[in-house]
Amino acid sequence: MMEEKKRKIGVYICHCGGNISDHVDVEAVREQVEEQYGVTVARTSMFTCSDASQNEMMKDIQEQGLDGMVVASCSPKLHLTTFRNMSTRAGLNPFQYVQVNIREQCSWAHADDHEGATCKAANLVGAGIEKVMRQEALQPIRVTSVKRVLVIGAGIAGLRAALELADLGVEVFLIEKEPAVGGMVGRLGEMFPADKNGVELIAMLLAEVKKRPNITLFLNAELAEKSGHIGEFELTIRIRNAAAADRTEEAVRIQVGAILVASGFAEYEPKPGEYGFGQPGVVTLSEFERLLQEGGEKLLHDGSEVKKIAFVYCVGSRQGQETENANRWCSRYCCSAAAHLAVQAKKKFPGAQCYHFYRDMRTYGKFESLYEEAGKSGSLFLRFDAEHPPRVEKNGGSWLVTVQDLLTGGDEVAVPADLVVLVTGMTARANDELTCVLKLPLGAERFYNEIHPKLRPVETVIDGVYIAGSCQGPKNAGESVVSSLAAVAKAAALLIKGYVDLQPFVAYVKADLCAWCGQCAAACPYSAIEKVTYGDKEVAQVVDVLCKGCGACLPVCPLDATQLKGYTDEQIEAMIDVLAREAAHEG
Amino acid sequence: MSEFNPRILVFSTDNVSDPGIDLAGRNKMHYPAKVFVITLPCSSAIKPRWITHALRSGFDGVFIAADGSDCSYVPDCTKRTAAVVGSAQAQLKEKALEPARVRMAAVCSVCAESFQKHMLSFSAALRKLGRADGRKVQGGGHGL
């Protein structure tokens, strides 16, 4: 155990102005922990993150030969990297640094109990010291990387990603499942705000792709197999020969350093009978979009002229608990899309009258102008609550949409309509094979899940695999491109330097304890544990570059042979011992 | 004699529940100061022996602020974590210690209010149960 050799640990406790010291007696905490075994120096500081304090810490590391450090301050989400970098600059292994959160999880949470907060802070800092006492120096796991990226999906997000990566000097393989590029945008007419035509926009991007020799585009292509790891993925692309009578397939092997998934979404398909869906005169949002594009002097549907159009909002979005596998989310783009289509319909066919049956009008940001424009051009808005959705019923050869309109105090209003447009939302695309091959986690909404929605929004737990566009959740075209360029930045930053440093907090197996039962390998979701020979027995061994450090292998080992670096039994139990210790006055 | 304030150990997770617990603090949502958090990468990594170790060492209850369906590592994280809780509770029962001393709930990165409520209600429940008698869980080794 590491504590057999006397450690030299520096402990720094932050006032954070008064954010911490207004509620925690930081001097009392310092006095208590400076006596703890292994502590060489314990100081308080008004702001530990300030340059002056960091310089003092660096001086202590160098002059006093510190081999471990604890900073008790704010959440590690804010300054873990700051202090790890400082440790590195001073020559201390950055993984011998532990940050203890005595602000968000202490002073602020217990501002009503100063004594309790001070006792708790002392325990938390003590536990941090015990953790670092048992922390070995670690090195990042460094793997080489090839400057090639696979982009999955050639919609607007994938095309833009491919172009940017290519211009950064990264070779790109761009694969598209369909026979043509473009995705959803490739089927659109005029788009807000500049009335740029979606078909033309995609054609322009495709022309740019064709100009770049370092982009290879495969149509009718899907990812079939993946092995290897970040920096060096070995992939098999399956390409269907759509022209051949027997629809033969070809497999292409490629090696890439990163994968960018921009596989898009699926439009919600209403159930038969849902607001009349499935019958003539009831269409989805995208079907109405195509109808508008058809042109002609009159707006026609099934040969009949359409004058009265009823838009029913939130179809397939914001569903209540009573719906099986409910789509609970707001699809975000559809209010704006419907308002835009109503404005376009009125421009092209001035005789058209649009009625909007909506729950809440979410034309956020600059899309608010669409709502205003729709209103000014004669659209009428009727608002319903979720408990009383509109009824869509046959009315001779047309439809009658009835609603309790909240805008007129709940009066029942019945509107005859030639065409009912269901404002259908976005759902996750069925990508079972891709999900399985990449081992990408899905969120509750069945879209791909990022590591953190705010702090790491395009990264996934699979190192080197990034997500972009609407495969992650509802987004409009602009937002999809924003996320795709963010993913480009992450992937390019990773590959251009030629190597990748991985976090070293991975699992390992104590071979002397292991008796290979296979339970850890079965529990590992990343196939990171293999069976190897150790002396005269078989044991489990962790492949460092495949391990994501989740620790799912820990509780299944009957012999406690599997451990996680940074979270070993010795560390966790020593922390528990300190945290459980009551101060003399505590009751 | 002063009122008994139960000591609670919370296992949280780096990416999901810990930000939610941070948010509770940021919003100055108060809960008992005898709530202590140890953060792990994923709640499916928690070992039953850590839970029993805590109850043997002076904690009166262990709360697992689980990743739930937001887990970015393991799709069936809830099921795996529930299995850990079940195993720990079974071991406690064998030692005549109340399984209710171990509680699990999904806490997401915006679940500040929910976390505060969990801490208040768990603390109240443990107050009714009284102190965990650490001696009951002595002697069985780490695995009980």
A43 beta partners: A12
Provide the chain A residues 422-481 that lie in CB contact (below 8 A) with chain B.
441-444, 449-453, 460-461
pLDDT, one tens digit per residue, over A175-191 is 999 999 999 999 999 99
Distance, CA of A191 to CA of A202 (rounded, Å): 12
- What are the residue ranges spanned by the domains of chain A? 1-138, 148-264+429-500, 268-425, 505-564
Best probe of the B interface among A579, A581, A582, A585, by most B CBs < 10 A, is: A579
pLDDT for position A161: 98
Q: Using the predicted structure, report yes or no on whether residue B135 has a pLDDT greater than 70.
A: no
Using alpha carbons, select from B22, B18, B23, B10 the residue that is nearest to residue B41. B18
Q: Do B72 and A451 touch (CB under 8 A)?
A: yes
Confirm whether B53 is domain-assigned: yes
Residue A365: CB partners within 8 Å, gap ≥ 6?
none
- Mean pLDDT, chain A, rounded, equals 94
Per the CB < 8 A criterion, the answer to whether A149 and A171 are in contact is: yes
* Residue among A124, A444, A449 whose CB faces B72 most closely: A449
Nearest residue of chain A to residue B14 (CA atoms): A77
**Can you spell out the DSSP letters for A295-342?**
-SSS-EETTEE--EEEEEEEETSS--TTSTT---S--SSHHHHHHHHH
Q: Chain B partners of A559 at a C-beta cutoff of 8 Å?
A: none
CA A435 from chain centre, in angstroms, equals 14
> Stretch A95-106: mean pLDDT, rounded?
97
A455-469 average pLDDT score = 89
Q: What is the 3-state secondary structure (H, E, C) of A67-82?
A: CEEEEEECCHHHHHHH
**Where residue A412 falls among pLDDT bands split at 50, 70, 90?**
very high
Least confident of A440-449, A494-503, B3-12: A440-449
The answer to the question of residue B100 being in a domain is yes
Choice between B140 and B73, residue whose per-residue pLDDT is larger:
B73
Residue B1 has pLDDT above 70, yes or no: no
Whether omega before A193 lies within 30 degrees of 0, making that bond cis, reads yes
Answer yes or no: is B115 within a domain: yes
* Rounded average pLDDT over A11-33: 97
Out of 3.40.50, 3.40.30, 1.10.10, 2.60.40, select the CATH number for domain A1-138.
Answer: 3.40.50
The answer to whether B62 and B11 are in contact (CB under 8 A) is yes
Distance, in Å, from the CA atom of A251 to the CA atom of A242, rounded to the nearest integer, reads 14
The answer as to whether B143 is a domain residue is no
Q: What CATH number should be reported for the domain whose range is A505-564?
A: 3.30.70.20
Does residue B2 lie in a domain region?
A: no
Note whether A1-138 and A505-564 share their fold: no
pLDDT at A372 over 50: yes
Q: Which residues of A touch B24 (CB under 8 A)?
A: 104, 109
For A323-365, the pLDDT digits (tens) are 888 999 999 999 999 999 999 999 999 999 999 999 999 999 9
Please state which of the ranges A313-317, A574-578, A583-587 shows the lowest mean pLDDT.
Answer: A583-587
The fold adopted by the segment(s) A268-425 is FAD/NAD(P)-binding domain (3.50.50)
The token duo for A301 is 């549907």
pLDDT of res. B144: 33
> Do the Cβ atoms of A164 and A496 come closer than 8 Å?
no
Say if pTM beats, i.e. exceeds, 0.95. no
Domain of B127 in residue numbering reads as 8-137
User: Smallest CA–CA separation between A586 and chain B, in Å?
Assistant: 9
ipTM at complex level: 0.94
For residue B142, being part of any structural domain is answered with no
Q: Say how many domains are in chain B.
A: 1
Nearest residue of chain A to residue B17 (CA atoms): A452
Q: How close does chain A come to B103, measured CA to CA in Å?
A: 17
CB–CB contact A116 B34 (8 Å): yes
Q: Do B50 and A109 touch (CB under 8 A)?
A: no
Q: Which residues of B touch A520 (CB under 8 A)?
A: none
pLDDT digits (tens, 9 = 90+) for B106-117: 998 778 899 999
With a cut of 50, say whether residue A36 has pLDDT above it.
yes
Euclidean distance between CA atoms A447 and A441, whole angstroms: 9
pLDDT of residue A152: 98
CATH at B15 = 3.40.50
Q: Which of A160-174, A292-306, A517-531 is the least confident region?
A: A292-306
- Flag if B53 and A450 touch (Cβ within 8 Å): no
A193-197, A202-206, A483-487, B119-123: least confident range: A193-197
> What are the chain B neighbours of A575 within 8 Å (beta carbons)?
38
Question: Is B33 close to A113, i.e. CB distance below 8 A?
Answer: yes
Ranking A57-71, A327-341, B18-32 by mean pLDDT, the lowest is: B18-32
Shortest Cα distance, chain B CAs vs residue A138, angstroms: 17
- Average pLDDT of chain B, as a whole number: 89
- CB within 8 Å: A555 and B44: yes
Return all residues near A303 (Cβ < 8 A) that are at least 6 apart: none
Pair of tokens at residue A406: 């909240």
**Residue A396 is encoded by which pair of tokens?**
């001779």
Domain A148-264+429-500 has what CATH class?
alpha beta
Q: What is the pLDDT of residue A450?
A: 86
Q: Which two tokens stand for residue A213?
A: 């020799």
State which residue of chain B sits closest to A109, comparing Cα positions: B25
pLDDT band at A242 (very low <50, low <70, confident <90, very high): confident
Alpha-carbon distance B95 to nearest alpha carbon in chain A (angstroms): 20
Residues 99..128 of A with a Cβ closer than 8 Å to B: which? 101, 103-113, 116-117, 119-120, 123-124, 127
Element (DSSP H or E) covering residue A282: strand A282-284
Give the model confidence (pLDDT) of B5-19 as tens digits. Answer: 999 999 999 888 998
Residues with Cβ within 8 Å of residue B121, at least 6 apart in sequence:
none
Those residues with Cβ within 8 angstroms of residue A29's Cβ, 6 or more apart along the chain or in another chain: A13, A72, A102, A118, A121, A122, A125
Angstrom distance (rounded) from CA A370 to CA A376: 10
Cα distances (angstroms) measured from residue A440 to each of A175, A447, A466: 18, 10, 10
Under 8 Å CB pairs connecting chains A and B tally to 158
- Are the CB atoms for A242 and A156 separated by under 8 Å? no
**For residues A494 and A464, is the Cβ–Cβ distance under 8 A?**
yes
Q: Are A503 and A549 in contact (CB under 8 A)?
A: yes
Q: Do B50 and A124 touch (CB under 8 A)?
A: no
Among all chains, which residue has been given the structure tokens 């528990």? A576
pLDDT per residue as tens digits for the range A443-454: 778 899 887 777
Lowest mean pLDDT among A4-8, A198-202, A300-304, B4-8: A4-8
pLDDT of residue A340: 97
pLDDT tens figures, A244-263: 777 789 999 999 999 999 99
